[in-house]
Amino acid sequence: MINSNLPIGVFDSGLGGLTAVKELKKVLPNESIVYFGDTGRVPYGTRSKSTIIRYASQDANFLLEKGVKAIVAACGTVSSSAKEELKKLPVPYIDVITATALAAVNATQNKKIGVIGTGATVKSGSFSKAINAIDSEIEVTATACPLFVSLVENGFIEEDNEVTLLVAKKYLKDIIEADVDTLILGCTHFPIIAPVIRKVMGEKVKLIDSGKETARYVKEILSAEALLNNSESTAIYNYFVSDDTENFKNIAEIFLQGDIDGEVERIDIGKYKRNIGDEN
C-alpha cells in the first residue's frame, strides 16, 4: 500500500511543468511536491519518439527513487509520446491529455476545437484522438508552435510584446480560419503567454489551460486512490534539474509567478534507468 503522506512527483522537459506545480499548490495545498525539470536535455518536442520515451523513463525512475506516491507528466510532448510506457509505473500516473481534452469538449459550443503544442505533440495526434474518443463529431485543428517555448523561457511574455504577437499571429492563422470557439494550450509553457494568445484569438474563444485541468484531475485520482494527504503537516517543495540551478531559479519565478519556494539541486539524470521496470 502506498503511503498517502508521500509527495507527488512532477516532471517536465524543462520549466513549463512549473505552471502545473503552481496549480497543484492551489488545488492541493497539503501536498508536498518533488519536481524534476530536464533542463539539460530540453526541448523534448523536437526529439524522436524513442528518445522521448527514454528520457521520460529516466525522469520517472528518478522520481520513484525519491519515494513519490504518484507521478505527473506535466509535459504535452511526454504525455503524447510516452503514455504506454509510463502506464507501467508502480504508482498512479497522470498525463496532461485526458483532463484537458475533457475540459475542451465540455467547453465547446460549435464543436470546433483548436490545439497548439510542440511538434511532437501535434504530430502524435494525441489531443485529437482523446477529443474524438469523447465526441467523434468534434472538428480538431492542431498547429505546432515550437517558438513559443523559447519566447517564454527568454522572457518575451508581455501582452504587447511585438515579437511574440508577430509569432502568435502567424502560428494561429489556420486555427482562427477554422472558426474554433475553444483552444487547448497543449504545452505547459503556453499559459504564460495566454494574454498574447487571447489578444490574437479574440475574447470569445475559450482557452483551456492544460496545467490547471491536470491539477484538478490529480486531485480526483488521489481521492479515488485514497492517497490524499489529510495531515496538517506543512507541504515541502523540492526542485531538481539536470543543468544550471541558478538559471532555473531565475526563470522559475516566471512560471510560479513568485519566488521559488524550495531547494534546487542539480542531478545527473543519465545514471537513472532508461526504461520503466529495468533492473539496470
In the chain, domain spans = 8-95+212-271, 97-210
Give yes or no on whether 8-95+212-271 and 97-210 have one common fold: yes
Instruction: Give the model's pLDDT for residue 1.
Output: 84
- Would you please indicate which residues are annotated as catalytic (active-site) residues? 75, 187
99 CA to centre of own chain: 12
Q: Could you tell me if 15 and 43 are in contact, meaning their C-beta atoms sit under 8 angstroms apart?
A: no
Instruction: Give the model's pLDDT for residue 280.
Output: 45
H or E segment at 265? strand 263-266
Q: Could you tell me if 85 and 56 are in contact, meaning their C-beta atoms sit under 8 angstroms apart?
A: yes
Instruction: Give the model's pLDDT for residue 232.
Output: 81
| Stretches in the chain below the pLDDT threshold 70 | 277-280
Q: Could you tell me if 16 and 255 are in contact, meaning their C-beta atoms sit under 8 angstroms apart?
A: yes
Per the omega criterion (within 30 degrees of 0), is the bond before 90 cis?
A: no
d(CA 32, CA 41): 26
At which residue does the C-alpha cell 475559450 appear? Answer: 206
Instruction: Give the model's pLDDT for residue 230.
Output: 87
Residue 161's Cβ-count burial label (10 Å; 0-12, 13-18, 19+) is middle
Q: What is the CATH number of domain 97-210?
A: 3.40.50.1860
DSSP state of 159: T
Instruction: Give the model's pLDDT for residue 277.
Output: 61
Picking from 77, 72, 244, 95, the residue whose alpha carbon sits closest to that of residue 148 is 77
Grid coordinates in use for 80? Answer: 503524447
Instruction: Give the model's pLDDT for residue 259.
Output: 85
Instruction: Give the model's pLDDT for residue 233.
Output: 82
d(CA 210, CA 179): 21
30 CA to centre of own chain: 21
96 CA to centre of own chain: 6
d(CA 232, CA 30): 7
Helix, strand, coil tally for the chain in percent (to 5): 45, 15, 40
Query: How far from 7 is each of 65, 193, 206, 227, 238, CA to CA, in Å?
Result: 12, 29, 33, 10, 10
Q: What is the CATH number of domain 8-95+212-271?
A: 3.40.50.1860
Q: Is the pTM of this model over 0.75?
A: yes
